Structure 1
Amino acid sequence: MSDTLPTTFDPAAIEARWYQHWETNGLFRPERPEAEAYTIVNPPPNVTGSLHIGHALDNTLQDVVIRYERLRGKDALWVVGTDHAGIATQMVVERQMEARQDKRTNYSREAFVEKVWEWKAESGGTITHQLRRLGCSMDWSREQFTMDLHFTKAVIKTFVDLYNDGLIYRDKRLVNWDPKLKTAISDLEVETQTIAGSFWHFKYPLADGARLDDGRDYLEVATTRPETMLADMAVAVNPADERYQSVIGKHVILPLTGRRIPVIADEHADPELGSGCVKITPGHDFNDFEVGKRAGFAAAEMLNMLDAEANVCQTADGLVPEEFLGLHRFRRDGVDGARELVVARMKALGLLIPHVTKSKDGEEIEHDAEPRQIATPFGDRGGVVIEPWLTDQWYVNAAELAKKPIAAVRSGEIQIVPKTWEKTFFNWMENIQPWCVSRQLWWGHRIPAWYGPVVYSNEEKPSAEFPSTGIGVQSPHEPLIGNASTDYDTTFIALDKDEAERQATEYIRSKGQELKVRFFESRADAFAALFAKTLDMRVEYPMWQDSDVLDTWFSSALWPFATLGWPDSPSPLAGEDGARSASGEGAAAQAAASAADPSPNPLPQGAGASLLQKHFPNSLLISGFDILFFWDARMMMMGFYNMGTKPWDRLYLHGLVRAADGAKMSKSKGNVVDPLGLIDQYGADALRFFMAAMESQGRDIKMDEKRVEGYRNFATKLWNAARFCQSNGIGASDTIKAPPARLAANQWIIGEVAACVTEIERAMADLRFDAAANAIYQFTWSKFCDWYLELVKPVLSPLP
């Protein structure tokens, strides 16, 4: 130690100075080409994000491991980068535009995407600077972004390969629809809140003179969503419910619409709940969708009564009364919505069964509905009630891709720590549903699907065609979202636009025609050109690209290997069974949109065959248990699919950081703790030591600022101990090996150091962060400071 340590311990100044020294000198990734590899990929935070307490825990644990392995001499690589965060980023940019009385739709798609890139260049680095303040020793020279050109290439290639292998397809199913953002969202982006609501009871008249055994000519149904009555397709009763045996297979006449719907038997109906009769609206309820399928309703036949903004639209059978069309589903801005009008009309028809209560004096009081506390899904960003909505979306056959990860965890090829999470993993993976990967946004990896009308040969009979052409197309109307049913379209899945054009040309020629391909931005633009007579389909073939982008979880699932150079670098197992070909033809479909990326290089420094060969599979993944299925499991799927092997050896799942009283932190509760504030007050080391010391496998962490303060005192004690040593001429050792020891105190402390090292090694091997931190704390405070320094003081300062 050449410089005298200041009297006062000031963590802010010390941490900033040393971090800059480490990063500037490349010490987070020392050159060790011959050393054993050790690799961790950082869960890429949203580019819009700021450091929260969960990030602080997650990244502290990763930093502990990577620094430990680096000190053990390994070629330790900690991959860092950010996620493009489709919904969140588009929202941020649109809000900035709204503040300027501007909006996205004033621009072309390309112009808007350019504005997002501009925002990223100016404001997208907040969280990476905050990770530096936390002290994370990441390899910043290779920082990456999920919209980088090389990453986009990996995303598009994966989609094309999955499609060609029959593992990705377009289907009509229910999704979580956010009417404010006008896009499908994942389950992770849905927050369930318990709110005050109502439970209405209605009469559904039986048809054809049918009656129940008790003489009633109606079925009583109860619902918390009366507005969806407009799209009811059945009433379900339990097959074992004796009250309704006589009417199973009969029909009711749905009030308001006059729709004739069947009474079906399904175990979804609970005889103990309400009347035991359940209205079935398969187009607007996830449970009802499954009931509808069991009853024989095809998805294409299921009725949809709401548009993308949750306003009432006409159903396919045309039976929704005109007075409901255009109404919002709920009361809004002081105007009654479809819910209020349905209740009013049912009451006027005498088909509302009142809820009866008694006053204090015993008088019966009738109410339109029974008050209930209802668990209601909200979009975490849009902030409005999520609508289960029947749409055409792209899906991945997750059940097929889940097979190899399940086998790997069962065999121990992939180790989950703590092991108790394996049961949850198997339960979800073995019952996994198709994965919806399309989103109705402009910012993101645009789906590499192009559409064009069906071309008929002279021998084929078209179901619909334009006059004087042999090209069949759907009736000219613009669908609410995305693209209309592929029944009337030919789909071309390609790595880029040029390849899509080649496929289309080959397809047209296979039908005996010679047409020139002409690209349009959308189906609507193609139809507009046709009706304006600027498109001549006798000589031109219109094509348009799918307007949707991919779910960000789809791209982040490639993080363990796309960050290392795949597909430009060959897979370590290329050619083996189950490994995908690493070759990729042409530029990625998103290359043009990504061209504004401020990074000058298509690949980060050091990417290449040697990097992928050496650092894949990764050694360890550390993540919160809450993204086990959204990210961790999908990385397993994509690792086995694209690379033919597991993405990492071990998966460590940590708990949540909770408020001091054990409650989950949320902004609405006002109990969120800002880690940057704690760093300002106590230093990054104090916060990090708290996180490590409190991380006990399988348990959440309760936030305790007093303990953070205690570890600040621990750092101060260590600082004072160093100052004491410095003042007595004791400096850093030149060797790892302990010097010869003659004094009994020195012999004792060397033994204690060795014992502490052994204890730390044992703890780290088992990923027991709390045990490792405790070993360091006890040795430093109780043995080194309290005993050893006191024992050597007489030697260093002998009495006269």
Structure 2
Amino acid sequence: MPNPTDTTLPTTFDPADIEARWYSHWEANGLFRPERPDAEAFTIVNPPPNVTGSLHIGHALDNTLQDVVTRYERLRGKDALWVVGMDHAGIATQMVVERQMEARQDKRTNYSREAFVEKVWEWKAESGGSIVGQLRRLGCSMDWSREQFTMDPHFTRAVIKTFVDLYNDGLIYRDKRLVNWDPKLKTAISDLEVETQTIAGSFWHFKYPLADGATLPDGRDYLEVATTRPETMLADMAVAVNPADERYASVVGKHVILPLTGRRIPVIADEHADPELGSGCVKITPGHDFNDFEVGKRAGFAASEMLNMLDAEANVCQTADGLVPEEFLGLHRFKRDGVDGARELVVARMKEQGYLIPHITRNKDGEDVAHDAEPRQIATPFGDRGGVVIEPWLTDQWYVNAAELARKPIAAVKSGEIQIVPKTWEKTFFNWMENIQPWCVSRQLWWGHRIPAWFADDGRCFVAEDEAAAQALAGDGVALTQDEDVLDTWFSSALWPFATLGWPESDSPLVQKHFPNSLLISGFDILFFWDARMMMMGFYNMRQKPWDTLYLHGLVRAADGAKMSKSKGNVVDPLGLIDQYGADALRFFMAAMESQGRDIKMDEKRVEGYRNFATKLWNAARFCQSNGIGASDTIKAPPARLAANQWIIGEVQACVGEIERAMADLRFDAAANAIYQFTWSKFCDWYLELIKPVFAGDADSPPAVETRAVAGWALDQILVMLHPFMPFITEELWHKLGERPYELIVAQWPKPEAEVSKEATDAIDWVIDLTTSTRSAKNELGIAPGAKLAAWLAAPSDVAARTIERSSAAIERLARLTPVTIGEPPAGPAMQVTAGEDVFVIPLEGIVDIAAEKARLEKALAASEKEAKSLGGRLSNPAFAEKAKPEAVEKARADLAHHTGEVERLTAALARLG
């Protein structure tokens, strides 16, 4: 144990001094997973961070909540397993390594696939996984002895088996479909990895001439189409009009001659064309637009017939019909490095040939001005990692039949077999799962799990767990080539709840005990990336749910509520906060602010406040230590006769129950608030004040002996209850207060098992109520806090009569009321204070200048009423809420709340003066 012989608490609490010391001790001694073979299992898996990642504020929230639950269940005696590991992060990791190569004027294609993958492994060994050390700094009590990696051999075996099984069951197939193609990374990415940005663009209008002399009823011999992507017209295959649009009924089934290419394409009727938008005619490019792909299928075009006009780098290539003019071949889709691209050349040629319909505006002189295009703000998809515009691209990829795999998860959530907390996320879950599209699981990368599929020269495909098995399927003498693609990273991480426990080994004891997992905690932003896919794979591979409950937390936002981003410069570094305030303070902030999935506004002042809370506890422990109060040797509450001791035992029991109810409901904020209020207010502010007189007399007297036992026990219960939230300071105090047979991390959750006298606890509550009321009244009237005041009580309640008789010294010391007289008060100005149902009258003659005090209060009241009225009017004006900056609206609301409170306080103060 760290410093086992030095039990004197330093004057100052220094988090940095204790955090690394205790974490190393816990990990080295296997205390994150104590040997509990017969205990009930509690299992949680950490969303595996990318091997390229570093701890950000979202990780700090996510992992704090997981650690709070894990430490809590460990204290409750469970065999708590928190699975930890990292994701190989295919795209992200390959990008990092390739960037490093570029810096050395090197590139991936200078190496064989095997040699490049070996370089990635070298990078992982040297630089990858820095986040695991950062998770340790946060205090995460993960089972590091079983740290996992999605490219480990046992995990790879699970991934390959799953792919092969899905294929053999007809749930994985190869298909030609449109994908989100990242031309920079040269790989398909998922819909979930596409970020839509609104950028300045243009809307061009073109003439598409009707073929065979056809005309419209108005005599026009062309159709007008509009597009934001003119370059894609090189691969147009149809023009669509709405079947109910009478303007074009006569030309449905006829053809247009596509300018520039001369391609003859049909005019088709499809609901996709909106008669109210533009001309009502829509160009259809099924090989480069997701909506057009579906229109093309409805029109009878097979995917294999759909034209593709771009290569993997988004440069123009020849279409299958050979009709793209040679001058376009090799051009990039957009203007790049000052060189015009296919878009610019298409517009120029359409204009030269008379097919461009100009956009007309009127200048300030009333003259018409022609423009090539209409300016528009256009929602544009970007790859979240490559950072370039995504190109819908027609290619052969591997797909999972996600709709079939989604059936059991949907049923499990509907039946309550799996609970989603907060329940409000169920609607979003069902909406996505019930409309789920095929899941593209192949990626054009070298780093990752290579797809276990081998192709013969004649195109036949053989899927097997290894090449030998594939060869056996193909037969001797058939030359095979393995698929170059790797699997989507989310495919492998979907197996995390059970592959980390040893699956597919059927006799894995960890699988038998710890699957299904108990709980999953994740951000709502990976509900479909990861959570839903784990449900699919859990039901498919294990024939049961992956966990009982899914808890979705919100995002950590900047102080003004804005989303954090590097570009805005509002990102907060959790490691910097740990350096400044300690891990315990940051952890407590995260737990206290987490309210059932609502977003958290970052507030460094509150983190500082929780550091002050830790200091308050530290100083309370020092007070106890200086008065001979130390470690308790009992789980059960000690015997107690003194009212203050019975009261604190009762308050411990109440706090334990409050925390247990909150944790059962996953109300982290309520649990944190319960232990905070009990520690700061009940124990430090009241109990320690109540027992101070006990230590002023004979140290060996029965009351002193009893009080030391009860105080030591109560402080122990605080350390145990607070430990899940603030593990470092609590473990340090646990050992500084005396010799212990075990560390706090594996202590027993409180079980007070005590009966306390209601008469005793009512008396203490009554003294506290009286003291609080008196202090508030003094503050309102500007009376010095330490001033002793005489008080009268005309008709005392039973509890008042008993307490005044037995505890007058406590009333004098805490409430500063003396003497307290039972009877009618003298005439004259006075204030009233209450305790329960008792009303005390405190004469003010000679204590305050009544007239001056009334004038001061009335002036302040008038000012606050005026401000409150003004602010209320401003906030009720819709124009203010719509036009003002969000921070101005927020400040106005805060000011209104302040002045409303002041009106109530000042009105009460005036009432006290009579």
TM-score bracket, normalised by the shorter chain, equals 0.7 to 0.9
Contact 1:522 1:547 in 2 (8 A): no
1:647 to partner: Cα distance: 0.4
**Number of the residue aligned with 2:92:** 88
Q: Is the 8 A contact 2:240 2:269 kept in 1?
A: yes
How far apart, CA to CA, are the structure 1 residues paired with 2:421 and 2:631?
A: 37
Contact 1:39 1:619 in 2 (8 A): yes
**Structure 2: how far apart are the matches of 1:338 and 1:439?**
27
The 2-side partners of 1:259 and 1:524 are apart by: 44
Separation (CA, whole Å) in 1 of partners of 2:458 and 2:178:
22
Contact 1:312 1:326 in 2 (8 A): yes
- Which one has a larger percent helix, Structure 1 or Structure 2? 2
Residues 526 and 88 (structure 1), Cα distance of their counterparts in 2 relative to 1, 3 Å cut? farther
Contact 1:37–1:75 under 8 Å retained in 2: yes
Post-superposition Cα deviations, 1:409-466, rounded to whole Å, max 9, x if no partner, equal 111111111111111111111111110000000100000011xxxxxxxxxxxxxxxx
Distance 1:726 1:266 in 2: 82
Task: Tell me which residue corresponds to 1:338.
Answer: 342
> CA deviation digits over 1:679-738, x for unaligned, max 9?
111111111111111111141111111211111111111121122212222222222211
- Classify 1:751/1:304 alpha carbon distance in 2 versus 1 (closer, same or farther; 3 Å): same
SS of 1:488's partner is coil
SS at match of 1:742: coil
Aligned pairs (5 A) from 1:370-385? 370-385=374-389
Give yes or no for contact 1:255–1:346 (8 Å, CA) kept in 2.
Answer: yes
Give the TM-score, by structure 2 length: 0.73
> 2:423 & 2:469 partners in 1: Cα distance?
51
CA distance in structure 2 between the aligned counterparts of 1:248 and 1:784, rounded to whole angstroms: 83
Shift of 1:188: 2.5
Between the aligned partners of 1:324 and 1:612, the Cα distance in structure 2 is 58
Counterpart-to-counterpart distance in 1, 2:471 and 2:343: 36
Q: What's the offset of the Cα at 1:678? A: 1.2
Pairwise mapping of residues 531-546 of structure 1 onto structure 2 (< 5 A)?
543-546=480-483
Provide the residue aligned with 1:558 in structure 2.
495
Aligned: 1:523 with 2:442:
no
Q: 351-360 or 226-235: which moved more?
A: 351-360
Aligned-pair CA distance for 1:777: 1.2
- Secondary structure of the structure 2 residue equivalent to 1:489: coil
User: Structure 1 residues 640 and 752 mapped into 2: Cα distance closer, same or farther (>3 Å)?
Assistant: same
Say if 1:183 and 1:439, in contact at 8 Å, map to a contact too.
yes
For residues 711 and 237 of structure 1, what CA distance do their matches in structure 2 show?
64
Deviates more, 1:219-228 or 1:239-248: 239-248
Deviation at 1:405, TM superposition (A): 0.8
Deviations 1:725-756 (A, max 9, x none): 12222222222211112221111111111101
Using the alignment, how far apart are the partners of 2:609 and 2:243 within structure 1? 63
- 1:582-634 deviations in whole A, cap 9, x for unaligned? xxxxxxxxxxxxxxxxxxxxxxxxxxxxx110000000000111111111111
Bigger mean CA deviation after superposition, 323-332 or 683-692 = 683-692
CA distance in 1, matches of 2:576, 2:450: 39
Query: Does the CA-based 8 Å contact 2:287-2:293 persist in structure 1?
Result: yes
Compare CA radii of gyration and give the structure with the larger one: 2
- Ranges in structure 1 where 5+ consecutive residues have no aligned partner: 451-485, 495-520, 530-542, 572-610
Residues 462 and 473 in structure 2, CA contact (< 8 A), matched pair in contact too: no
Deviates more, 1:688-697 or 1:208-217: 208-217
Query: For residues 181 and 65 of structure 1, do their structure 2 counterparts lie closer, same or farther at Cα, with a shift above 3 Å needed?
Result: same
> How big is the shift at 1:271?
1.7
Once the two structures are TM-superposed, the CA of residue 667 in structure 1 deviates from its matched residue by: 1.4
Closer/same/farther in 2, CA of residues 73 and 740 from structure 1, 3 Å limit: same
Q: Distance in 2 between matches of 1:217 and 1:661?
A: 57
Q: CA RMSD in A?
A: 3.5
- The answer to whether the Cα contact below 8 Å between 2:640 and 2:646 also exists between their aligned partners in 1 is yes
Structure 1 pair 328–183 and aligned structure 2 pair: CA distance change class (3 A): same
What's the offset of the Cα at 1:125? 2.3
Residue 492 of structure 1, CA deviation: 1.2
Provide the residue aligned with 1:678 in structure 2: 577
Q: Conserved in 2, the CA contact under 8 Å of 1:206 and 1:251? A: yes
Q: 1:235·1:280 contact (CA, 8 Å) conserved in 2?
A: yes
Q: Equivalents in 2 of 1:368, 1:27: separation in Å?
A: 71
Residues of 1 paired with 2:84 and 2:323: CA distance?
55
CA distance in 2, matches of 1:237, 1:734: 84
Counterpart in the other structure of 2:463: 493
Q: Indicate conservation of the 8 Å contact 1:522/1:544, yes or no.
A: no
C-alpha displacement at 1:525, in angstroms?
A: 18
Indicate how the Cα distance of structure 1 residues 488 and 275 shifts in structure 2: closer, same or farther if over 3 A, else same.
farther
1:487: Cα distance to partner? 10
CA distance, structure 1, for counterparts of residue 557 and residue 191 of structure 2: 22
Per the TM alignment, residue 548 of structure 1 is displaced from its structure 2 partner at its CA by: 0.3
TM-fit CA distance, 1:523:
20
**Cα distance in 2 for residues equivalent to 1:194 and 1:314:** 31
1:97 CA displacement:
1.1
Runs (4+) off by over 3 Å:
521-529, 796-800
Q: Does the 8 Å CA contact 2:463/2:470 hold for their aligned counterparts?
A: no
Aligned-pair CA distance for 1:232: 0.7
2:394 alignment partner in structure 1: 390
Equivalent residue runs for 1:231-246 within 5 Å: 231-246=235-250
Question: Residue 625 and residue 737 in structure 1: after superposition, are their counterparts in 2 closer, same or farther (change >3 A)?
Answer: same
Alpha-carbon distance in 1 for matches of 2:382, 2:13: 47
Q: CA deviation at 1:130?
A: 0.5
With 421-430 and 436-445 compared, the bigger mean Cα shift is at 421-430
CA distance in 2, matches of 1:741, 1:412: 46
Contact 1:522 1:545 in 2 (8 A): no
Q: CA deviation at 1:551?
A: 0.4
Task: Kindly indicate whether the alpha-carbon contact (under 8 Å) linking 1:437 and 1:554 is maintained by their aligned counterparts in 2.
Answer: yes
How far residue 570 of structure 1 moved from its aligned partner, in angstroms, is 4.2
> CA–CA distance in 1 between the matches of 2:94 and 2:471?
24
Q: Given that residues 94 and 120 in structure 2 are in contact (C-alpha distance below 8 angstroms), is that contact kept between their aligned partners in structure 1?
A: yes
Contact kept, 8 Å, 2:462 with 2:474, in 1: the verdict is no
d(CA) in 2 for partners of 1:770, 1:526: 59
Contact 2:148-2:500 within 8 A present in 1 as well: yes
Deviations along 1:7-26, whole A, 9 cap, x unmatched? 11111222111111111111
Q: Counterpart of 2:337 in 1: which secondary structure? A: coil
Tell me if structure 2 keeps the 8 A contact 1:169–1:394: yes
Q: Distance in 1 between matches of 2:319 and 2:499?
A: 45
Point out the more displaced range, 714-723 or 789-798.
Answer: 789-798
1:666 Cα offset (Å) = 1.4
Counterpart of 2:47 in structure 1 is: 43
Deviation per residue, 1:229-250 (Å, 9 max, x gap): 1011111112222222222222
Taking structure 1 as the reference length, what is the TM-score of the superposition?
0.83
From the superposition, tell whether residues 259 and 525 of structure 1 become closer, same or farther in structure 2 (CA, over 3 Å). Answer: farther
Does the Cα contact within 8 Å between 1:718 and 1:780 map onto a contact in 2?
yes
Seen in structure 2, the aligned counterparts of structure 1 residues 107 and 274 have a Cα distance that, compared at 3 Å, is same
| CA pair 702-617 structure 1, distance change in 2 beyond 3 A | same
SS at match of 1:199: strand
Q: Which runs of 5 or more structure 2 residues have no equivalent in the other structure?
A: 1-5, 695-816, 820-912
Pair 1:352–1:524, CA change in 2 (3 A): farther
Shift of 1:116: 0.6
1:522: how far off? Answer: 17
Q: Could you list the per-position Cα deviations for residues 204-236 of structure 1 after superposition, in whole angstroms to 9, with x for gaps in the alignment?
A: 111112222222111111111110010111111
487 and 292 in structure 1: CA distance in 2 versus 1, 3 angstrom threshold: farther
Deviation at 1:569, TM superposition (A): 3.0
Q: Write out aligned runs for 1:292-441 (5 A).
A: 292-441=296-445
Q: Identity, % of aligned pairs?
A: 92
CA deviations on 1:109-142 (whole Å, 9 max, x unpaired) are: 1111111111111111200000001111101111
* Alpha-carbon distance in structure 1 between the residues aligned to 2:98 and 2:312: 18
Q: 1:424 aligns to what SS in structure 2?
A: helix
Cα offset, 1:527, TM superposition: 22
Q: Residue deviations 1:254-308, cap 9 Å, x none?
A: 1111111111111111222211111111111111111111111111111100000
Comparing 662-671 with 687-696, greater Cα deviation is found at: 662-671
Higher relative contact order (CA 8 A, sep 6+): 1
Q: Secondary structure at the match of 1:708?
A: helix
